[in-house]
Amino acid sequence: MDDYRKNFLVGEDAVKALEEYDDTEDHLYDRVRVVIHLKQRMAERALTQMQLSEMSGVRQATISQLSRGYVERLHIPTLEKIAWALGIEDITQLITFELESEIMNMANPYGIEYDYPTKNKRKNSATRPEG
């Protein structure tokens, strides 16, 4: 067996491990978010979305979505075109990966705790008075 495979479960052992897996503590792990800094890089260069679109060959609508941080799918060649047009050689000037907790801490510098509804509760559900 290859050395790298000795760390992985295979066959029935893998199936058994999946069945026994307890995901109740998954919420303790921090999620990683992709942060796109396109709006800042464009402002530094005094570029409009249309100008960047013409320079990069990327649709203006795509640049608009990326500028707002909207990312459904991250297409690497698109980012490469934008980085090239902006003269960016270090891709971390355009995108970074940040822990979700760090992003939330920046949005809430005083550490105020909010009571958000859980997934099981319906949004905007009105409570009916008893009686």
**Weakest-pLDDT range from 15-19, 69-73, 127-131:** 127-131
Cβ-in-10-Å burial (0-12, 13-18, 19+) of 63 comes to buried
pLDDT band per the 50, 70, 90 thresholds, residue 88: very high
For 30-57, what is the mean pLDDT?
92
pLDDT > 90: percent of the chain: 35
Q: Could you tell me the residue ranges of all domains in the chain?
A: 30-107
pLDDT cut 70: percent of the chain above it: 65
Q: Residue 33 forms beta bridges with which residues?
A: 98
Cβ-contact 17, 9 below 8 angstroms: yes
Q: What is the pLDDT of residues 53-77, one digit of tens each?
A: 999 999 999 999 999 987 778 888 9
34 or 84, higher pLDDT: 84
> CATH for 30-107, among 3.40.640.10, 3.40.50.300, 3.30.750.24, 1.10.260.40?
1.10.260.40
